[in-house]
Structure 1
């Protein structure tokens, strides 16, 4: 492949900062008649290094690839980030992968871009090598949130502490989880609120802070509003497991086995331990009433 404009990164979440870089790539490619290329990885590097076994991602791989394509990128090169691959020196990565496969005219670099062993492939490294290999470099400044750059790490932290509004703002969309509807204990049905129990398609995807959320649910290309509970169900269960379950508003049908995605629109409250099932049911009714009010007065206006 020749005459390309290329960038490299993990792109977890495809957040505002990533979107800024990809948008600039897209328009430069059109103006200069270049093919846009993104090099990314089939697994997050943190999972290969195993320094943090609990590391969570914002977007499953397939979702990330679709988002990048929606930004107008023409070619995505997916690399397996193995332990051996992680030892690849930046000079080798540049000559054997970037130049040999894509021969870019322009390499686009963000504020935290890097590749190669011990993150040697920085913007400064690429600038030093550009005359040798005959490419230009383009630097894209970070998108700022106050005094700090928008980052996947900061968004993960926001979701973990329940700051959904800010996380959604920095993603430029609602945070979305993907999974399949599986059989649960049918406790919700007993309480008058039958829920779809979700098994995530990517076990590494980040689960936001425990609580009740107003959500939008996509099933078989049809969308509905829902109440999503992330919690341990302390009033009715004692197994300590965190589950993700959604009561789909105004939908009464068998969803077992269906693929489902959940957009988190608003965090309504924390999960609570109630003294009785009746108190829990009253709280669920109040949640539903609040959800309908928000939908009518804010979302559908």
Structure 2
């Protein structure tokens, strides 16, 4: 099968991806694309398989990609696939790189919460101004954390938080027991756990079901003085409602890695808020090179399964978004 297989590589550094593929497989017919706007020119190769990275700003060329009737398997190098929705799961399998960044993203999230509770950001600002001033740190031990989204990353967050002495609640589409999580609720009952939580981590994928999950009502239901870290997708959190809550002090501080519009416009009020800490959608504690290396390995394992007629792993349901 590999001798007849046509493979498309849409990546920032396609040669590196091809090198990794050719170290494991021979005889593949590979077409490479390094720019989104060049995909239409290359798609005529009638690929069976596509390896894709979302490495440029702007719309992903999903319509061009899925226009090919020959396409059977698409690999997304990240976890989120909302840029690929919709697709016909009866015709093509879309798989993601779930598992690659679980620990790294969880470490990033917990580190950001600790940085806020211990005033690390404020102390750095004081250092730049040569100011010697102490601030009372908040205790994370004994605190309560709600994790919105209990997939692999959310469960890793729960495990790390538990090891720090925190009580963890979680929100999950299908309510079921999760190790290390004291209480699991469905989206309809999210306010119940938000009301008793000192910290909130949002890590759910963006789907039609989760869009606006952390909306005005949910934010109002949060415990006064709550701290939030959002590393899901911007559309999950109502940005305007969050800005209001940050301004009033109802939300003490927020660490934001994702936004409704990306890159975050220079005109956004979030840039100037002292209790907001911004990162440019890169919430992983590992280098990009290490991440892509691991993501390619996930793809290669699935490519081997595809070639040998074995069921793929990390297949995403387009209706659930994960």
TM-score strictly above 0.5 = no
Pick the structure with more strand per residue: 1
Structure having the higher Rg:
1
